[in-house]
Amino acid sequence: MQTDPLSTAFSALADPTRRAMLARLSMGEATVNELAEPFAMTLPAVSKHLKVLERAGLVSRGRNAQFRPCRLEAGPLKDVAAWMEQYRRFWDDSFDRLDDYLKQIQHKERSDDA
């Protein structure tokens, strides 16, 4: 497997089960059993998916009695988004217009400061 963080993140996201787990975690912490509940899959399989997400830094886990609550960590998502940004002009039709607009805003704010 790749060792660079960006590849690890992309690879962790390349699975619908793992993306669904992240979606669940975006609504708050959850235990492994709670995360596993919607899936027709054994608990060890879920545990493995979690480890993939954890290794990618997308999930961290605490300790609460016999539970190991998982929570979303968005750092890697930020890196992915930053990578995506360089391609925005290829898919965002309004990018050029928005870009112009933001430049205008910045310009305006700068003259407001003065």
- Residue ranges in contact with DNA by CB under 7 A: 1, 11, 14-15, 17, 31-34, 40-45, 47-52, 61, 63, 65-69
User: In whole angstroms, how close is the CB of 77 to a copy of itself at the nearest point?
Assistant: 5
Segment interacting with a copy of itself (CB under 8 A) among 27-35, 37-45, 60-68, 89-97? 89-97
* DSSP sequence for 42-108: -HHHHHHHHHHHHHTTSEEE--BTTB--EEE--HHHHHHHHHHHTTHHHH-TTHHHHHHHHHHHHHH
C-beta of 51 vs 78, nearer to a copy of itself: 78
Q: How far apart are CA 60 and CA 72, in angstroms?
A: 7
Contact between 45 and a copy of itself by CB under 8 A: the answer reads no
Contact between 75 and a copy of itself by CB under 8 A: the answer reads yes
